[in-house]
Chains A and B, each alone.
Chain A
Amino acid sequence: DAMVIQNPRYQVTQFGKPVTLSCSQTLNHNVMYWYQQKSSQAPKLLFHYYDKDFNNEADTPDNFQSRRPNTSFCFLDIRSPGLGDAAMYLCATSRDRSSGYTFGSGTRLTVV
């Protein structure tokens, strides 16, 4: 089945130690998104790629970076995780900007 896969499902990292979360898709969708969701909160968009065109949200901290080396993969890098970065990180794709979204299962990040 075509899908969006996030690895790992659970990630524990030390305060200040760089961490990378990954997302892959077999849907061949043009657009990929990263959302951050804290407990009982709405998912919040961090950035998105339309093909290779990177779009950063104005309030996304500089501590967060992203890479999309090809259509299938997208990475979220947190350069120096703080306790406030503990959250569920959700990757999503869509065929184009006006199509429905498909989400992965998410990565739960814990910072110790």
Chain B
Amino acid sequence: KQEVTQIPAALSVPEGENLVLNCSFTDSAIYNLQWFRQDPGKGLTSLLLIQSSQREQTSGRLNASLDKSSGRSTLYIAASQPGDSATYLCAVPNSGNTPLVFGKGTRLSVIA
């Protein structure tokens, strides 16, 4: 069964810093990986979707990479802002193209 681990569990940085969030998963036979953002008490907002054939995806200040063979993904946030404060969740299929299994997330605080 797929297990997803996100490190660190929480992170606090001053505004303007670049930062990296880490995600690891145990079963590399996946079709894709998706990063989400969750604000307190809210649903999940999709940030980036990386297909298994891709190495990275970029959206604005966000860049996500995927190393399928080693079971790792990183989410890079450039020039962090207080509005980036949220929990960031990584999710991969249990195997192949089965439903997503989520990590517990990294809770990010960006201090002005």
Contacts and interface: CB of A to CB of B under 8 A. Distances in A.
Contacts of B89: 42-43
Interface string A96-108: 0110111111101
Interface in B56-112: 89, 91, 97-105
Interface of B: 4, 31-32, 34, 36, 41-46, 49, 89, 91, 97-105
Interface of chain B, main secondary structure: strand
A33 B101 CA distance: 12
Contacts of A6: 43
Contacts of B98: 97
Contact of B99 (A33, A105, A108): A33
A45 interface: yes
A6 B43 CA distance: 10
Nearest to A55: B99
